Amino acid sequence: MAEDSSLEYNFENHWNTAYQKTPVDKLGWYEKESTPSLELIALCNLPKNAQIFNAGAGASVLIEQLLSEGYSNLVVNDISSSALIELKNNVQKYKNSKIQFIVDDLTNPSELVKLKNIDLWHDRAVLHFFTTEKQQKTYFDLIRKTLKPNGFVILAEFNLEGAKKCSGLDVFNYNEAMLQEQLGDNFKLVKSFNYTYTQPSGGLREYVYTLFQRTEKE
């Protein structure tokens, strides 16, 4: 695991630059449709007013897809204000839905710690950028602090056979057992699968998709 010196790097600047210099549909993580995420979200059987939190959402099309499916209570986070400005523009027409935009660092949260009663935590391609033990602990503590009893967690990260870098940054690769260990005994794995994502450039990226449910009582 990397040393804490990686915390000195300006990640906010890194990600703002990524979103400012490249059109969203050319980014190495752009999805036209968030099919594997939507498949797992459907399994949760949530009411349409469930509070869904998207960690490091970027300008992901998932938000628009959830809104078009009728989900009306979304909390969208990113460290990059540029990404969230773009996302806000894309979802302007969904005026009857509650969408909260929170620019904050998942590994050093100030606003995110105020969240509570999240029904579903969704993360695609974000956790794997947290390479130090401290960053990872802060991230998983935040899930445990903000998620409802019986709430769901979807984590989709580069798998053990997957790329070792993305956007020029080192990544930490996962399998479902490693994610289970980080979440702890009060979460049970509902479903997982490996998934090969094709980048706009044609490159292939190997992911593990996991859906967990919190099992402890209130």
Ligand X SMILES: C[S@@+](CC[C@H](N)C(=O)[O-])C[C@H]1O[C@@H](n2cnc3c(N)ncnc32)[C@H](O)[C@@H]1O
Per-residue tokens: 141: 């503590």
Closer residue to ligand X in complex, CB, 129/212: 129
Taking a C-beta distance cutoff of 8 angstroms, is the pair 122, 53 a contact? Answer: yes
112 near ligand X (CB under 6 A): no
d(CA 78, CA 66): 17
Q: Which of 41, 50, 106, 153 binds ligand X (CB under 6 A)?
A: 106
Q: Is residue 80 within the footprint of ligand X (CB under 6 A)?
A: yes
Q: Does 207 bind ligand X (CB under 6 A)?
A: no
With binding defined as CB under 6 A, does residue 74 bind ligand X?
no
Nearest-10 crossing angle of helices 81-90, 11-21: 40
Closer to ligand X by Cβ: residue 35 or 150: 35
C-alpha 88 chain-centroid distance: 17
The piece of 2-10, 41-49, 71-79, 203-211 that touches ligand X (CB under 6 A) is 71-79
125-184 binders of ligand X (CB under 6 A): 125-126, 129, 166
Residue 83 binding ligand X, by CB under 6 A: yes
Structure tokens at 99: 């969408």
Nearer Cβ to ligand X, position 130 or 212? 130
211 binds ligand X (CB under 6 A): no
- Find the shortest distance in angstroms from Cβ 15 to ligand X: 3
Q: Which two tokens stand for residue 19?
A: 């979103």
Using CB under 6 A as the binding rule, whether residue 79 contacts ligand X is answered as yes
Confirm or reject binding of residue 57 to ligand X (CB under 6 A).
Answer: yes
Q: Which residues bind ligand X (CB under 6 A)?
A: 11, 15, 29, 56-58, 60, 77-80, 83, 105-107, 124-126, 129, 166
